[in-house]
Structure 1
Amino acid sequence: MGKQAGSVTCAAGMRGRAAEFVTGITARSRLPLDYSVASLRVVDFLIDGLRKGGADQDRVREPLTGLGAYVGEVLVRRAGAVWVDLDDTQRAYFGQEVGVRMPDGRVWNPLGKVLNRFGSSGPEDSLQTFYLTLHGRPRRTAA
């Protein structure tokens, strides 16, 4: 069975997956998920809420996948990344089938970062901090 563009496991389907997630969650609440860097703080809050609610990772796999797609799409829109299908070595390392490639060629794993955030409560796993300290994104220069 081949990968389909709408599949979560295919880079071509990740933008749509993020949009579906945003549409679904904002239909129920007024969360400011606008693909801004600041919205990653909301993602941290949502993941913390899932964890504090006592859900196990398997039960919340769909929302976590949606949040991972959203984080990746923020990297695409704000940091110049592109969605990529990971090769066998990258899949083994990251435990995911898709990731993002930054303008400098580095590959990052937003889905795995979301899972790491869910598994810990430490500030070191903040997705907003991840973006702000991300290697490979263009830096603003003083004009």
Structure 2
Amino acid sequence: MRPCARAFVARVTARNRLPLDYSVASLRVVDFLIDGLRKGGSDREDARGTLLALGAYVGEVLVRRAGAVWVDLDADQRAYFGQPVGVRMPDGRVWNPLGKVGNRFESGGPEESLQTFYLTLHGRARRALA
């Protein structure tokens, strides 16, 4: 997922100068990008590739800022999350950034904000990681 996030950031920031710097604050930009997809009339299938890349980006923020690591999910986790990969936090909890991005796209509501997701996330490392 890391290469997917890196390629997405390179592609998007080269054209638009979006502040996608893997910071917690940049998750607000992700919220706006997803909202723009919805308002632009994209359906989930049309937006699938972009949503995957945004999910990879969100996961990479968790890796870089919260001490998470990318993991391949086991069969039970795949069934529960509907995704093949997720992130494991320092305390052992597993989260689904790809699914969180999909939820934001589907609902569009502030309760699905990715920045709020990070800020209320259990299991983060106590100090910010570089």
TM class by shorter chain equals over 0.9
The amino acid across from 1:105 in the alignment is: G
Q: Distance in 1 between matches of 2:98 and 2:9?
A: 16
* Matching residue within 2, 20, 25 for 1:38: 25
Higher relative contact order, structure no. (Cα contacts within 8 Å, ≥ 6 residues apart): 2
Give deviations 1:5-63, integer Å, cap 9, x for gaps.
xxxxxxxxx11110000011111101000000000000000000000111000001011
2:96 maps to 1:136: no
Give deviations 1:85-112, integer Å, cap 9, x for gaps.
0000000000000000000000000000
2:92 maps to 1:105: yes
TM-score when scaled to structure 2? 0.96
Superposed structure 1 runs of 4+ greater than 6 Å apart: none
* Matching residue within 48, 51, 56 for 1:69: 56
2:40 maps to 1:58: no
* Structure 1 residue 122, shift from structure 2 partner: 1.3
Match of 1:24 in 2: 11
Secondary structure of 2:46's counterpart equals coil
How large is the Cα RMSD of the aligned pairs?
0.7
How many residues align structurally? Answer: 127
Match of 2:112 in 1: 125
Match of 2:70 in 1: 83
Secondary structure of 1:100's counterpart equals strand
Identity %: 80
* Matching residue within 74, 96, 101 for 1:114: 101
Structure 2 unaligned regions, length at least 5? none
Q: Distance in 1 between matches of 2:108 and 2:92?
A: 30
Based on CA coordinates, which of the two structures has the bigger radius of gyration? 1
